[in-house]
Structure 1
């Protein structure tokens, strides 16, 4: 479920800027899907079995426009009314606005909030993700969600080579995850993916914030799609050991199964994330 198209967070690495998605206007120019709520309710009425409904994979729904329009909150009310589960991927502490509805959904079916964390350094965070909640704000949101009984999952990505791929950064993020008692951490590897569209924007921001870094990337990776960190193997070892020590899920397949499974609280059977 995507209620909006485009994003104003300004994350310098965003894959959704890629030309393959066919965005025919500026990425920061938000499209509002005016009939999304009607389509959603019609789909919920037709579903014979309850399932998990997800959002946030292409556009973070907690952009400023949501505060004015409230389409996500209206969608949450529909999910609760019809007894469906919900999961969202976000970088914003604005998710706390809907804490009451998230709790109701979790009590009736299941709710999981997924939060992206990339760097523990606040100054670096403002360069990488300039128009969104800082890491400390997101961490405080994770603690609030923990205290409210809402399960959470963290996306540890992307880890940008030569920028945030340090042992100190990964260790500090993992410590935050342990304190927040997150259920799982998704990490496909230490690195970033670049393709046409987001590559050009990413390099322009490297020129702006990290002089000389674009040239280093081009010398090291050329036009590769996957740009792996030179420290990747060591950092992934740290990651897996830390998660195992704290009882945090850390294999993507296991976490996605957890995200896509609706608990049998209302007689539901296990279904895929998008039904």
Structure 2
């Protein structure tokens, strides 16, 4: 890790990235792409040493409360968070200043901050977004080696459900020839149904590959799936958008399942939900789980 002081941390779209880089080791990670101009090794985490301070300055100046998003480019619960607690410090500020939170992760470490997430959700709105890509636990440990397994993330979703915190699942990316199967997608959907997730975001069955993350992805295919790289090159060459041949069938299955179980699956509606702040009135606060 290395530290860097920042002039600002809050984007124009009210998003923050508390760290830069990641140690979860997901083989498909788009954040490795060179277009993001990361001038250090991806695993050499850039710690924004003054991140909480500049966030507080930004929140103090904002005239209107809104949802603050985090975790899109770098997971907020990487291994360093256990020691540094910068994510927790930022969440504390979001709560103190009365903002909402939409936080995305693949890690069960988020449970450490359940107390704060509940407080935010009681006062305004907190949405936990969890990425799920494969139902197979052994496969999960290969394509997402240093992070909570799918089943562990499912347990997090159930805990959020039991505490009245809404959840959104990112069902992506899905890797052609590897986990683009009906069995895998159905397993994830069954988890979502049991956890009563509010919505599922899925842009399609496939992934994106561009300079930087493509190199890493192909390297890992050679390590774990001999011969798979040549299949990708033959079928997709150097395309950016990699679509599975099973896309239509699996997307139709996702849509029908979501409609039957009342799960939001329209992408625009999911994003509207993530960005809409909903302050609780006194009656709603009394009716939240654990507050009666």
Structure 1 residues not aligned, in runs of 5+? 267-275
* Alignment size in residue pairs: 267
Q: Deviations over 1:205-230 (max 9, x none)?
A: 00000000000000000001011000
Q: Report 1:22-33 matches (<5 A).
A: 22-33=37-48
1:61 matches 2:93: no
Is it true that 1:108 corresponds to 2:157 in the alignment?
no
SS of corresponding position for 1:61: coil
In structure 1, how many angstroms separate the alpha carbons of the residues matched to 2:196 and 2:269? 17
RMSD: 1.0
Name 2:181's counterpart in structure 1.
166
**When the two structures are superposed, what TM-score results if normalisation uses the length of structure 1?**
0.96
> Would you say 1:184 and 2:199 are equivalent positions?
yes
1:246 correspondence with 2:261: yes
Question: Which residue matches 1:122?
Answer: 137
- Report which structure shows greater RCO (CA 8 Å, sep ≥6): 1
Could you list the per-position Cα deviations for residues 8-36 of structure 1 after superposition, in whole angstroms to 9, with x for gaps in the alignment? 00000000000001111110000100111
Q: Which structure 1 residue ranges, 4+ long, deviate > 2 Å from structure 2?
A: none
The answer to whether the aligner puts 1:84 opposite 2:99 as a matched pair is: yes
TM-score (norm 2): 0.90
Match of 1:151 among 166, 182, 190: 166
Aligned counterpart, 2:50: 35
Specify every segment of 5 or more residues in structure 2 that has no aligned partner in the other structure, as ranges.
1-15, 282-292
**Which residue pairs with 2:12 in the alignment?**
none
Given candidates 206, 210, 214, the residue that maps to 2:221 is 206
Question: Could you say which residue in structure 1 is the equivalent of 2:209?
Answer: 194
| Distance in 2 (alpha carbons) for counterparts of 1:131 and 1:265 | 37
